[in-house]
Amino acid sequence: MTKYELITNKFIESLNEGVIPWKKGWNTVGGTARNYITKREYSGINRLILNTSKFSCPFWATMKQINELGGKVNKGEKSTIVVFYANYAKEDPETQIESKFFAMKTYLVLNLAQTSGINWTKDLETNNDFKPIEIADELVKNYETCPEIVHNDQQAFYSFIADYINMPKSSTFKSTEEYYGTLFHEMIHSTGHVSRLNRETLNSIAHFGDHSYSKEELVAEIGASFLLSNAGLENDHTLENSKAYIQSWIKALESDPKLILQAASLAEKAVGYILGEKAKDA
């Protein structure tokens, strides 16, 4: 049994363990999303909405606050809706009895990266703990047809139309392993480009969540685990994150174990391509 088969078997065994909430492996640059004026961090659904935005800046503010700071919203920028619960009191006109209740309201905020005239960069927190790992970097360098890797947005994705990989800044990742695991995930996606392996699961995607999309995500995550193993970076934490991510797709596809085997076969072929090995039939 190969080491790839051992990893695949761990994923299959995990299907009966329940879904573990998968977490994004990086933070917004300078910390979590918060209001620039009050410095208060957003919580609940607001934290999820704002922390997963495309902006690298963690600071948000209302239009009024931006105006008070002397800033200006850049042309064409759109605001983001956030919610809050407020405590209200209402008096019954007949009984004069006051009742209290909570109500949800919405308001609009903008990221300071959408503005000009405000020097917010001076307030960024920095994280310099990231330490490159030579064997992992060599693996990336040895990927002969690797598309360009850029850091334009604080999001991780592979653009198969423009053929490039976008990665969040390395200093914002929670661990070095999380950085390489995310990069390897996007690298596996890139092997499916028509100029490389021309993988059907990548090139036939019609929309988010369709069968091809789900299968391609499985291919990328399993392939990333294989590459982490090759670089000696696989550990219990990275494996649990991958298992949880994979479980979320398997659940959507009615927990079909055969799907993992098919995806693992495609993932092994993608890894072989990156490593420069002779491609195997999948």
User: Looking up tokens 């309201």, which residue turns up?
Assistant: 105
Q: Which of 195, 237, 243, 191 is nearest to 221 (CA)?
A: 243
- H-run or E-run covering 150: strand 148-150
Domain-wise residue ranges, the chain? 3-26+127-275, 34-123
On whether the CB atoms of residues 147 and 190 are closer than 8 A, the answer is yes
pLDDT tens digits for range 149-206? 999 877 889 999 999 999 988 887 878 888 999 999 999 999 999 999 999 989 887 5
* CA 85 – CA 104 distance, rounded (Å): 4
pLDDT tens digits for range 232-248? 887 666 666 666 666 66
Q: How far is CA 51 from CA 26, 28, 46, 75, 126, in A?
A: 10, 6, 8, 23, 17
User: Looking up tokens 């759109």, which residue turns up?
Assistant: 78
Q: How far is CA 96 from CA 89, 93, 100, in A?
A: 12, 5, 13
Q: Provide, for the chain, the percentages of residues in helix, strand and coil under a 3-state DSSP scheme, each rounded to the nearest 5.
A: 40, 15, 40
The pTM (predicted TM-score) of the whole model is 0.64
Angle between helix 257-275 and 3-14 (nearest 10):
150
Q: Given this model, what pLDDT does residue 248 score?
A: 62
Give me the percent of the chain exceeding a pLDDT of 70.
77
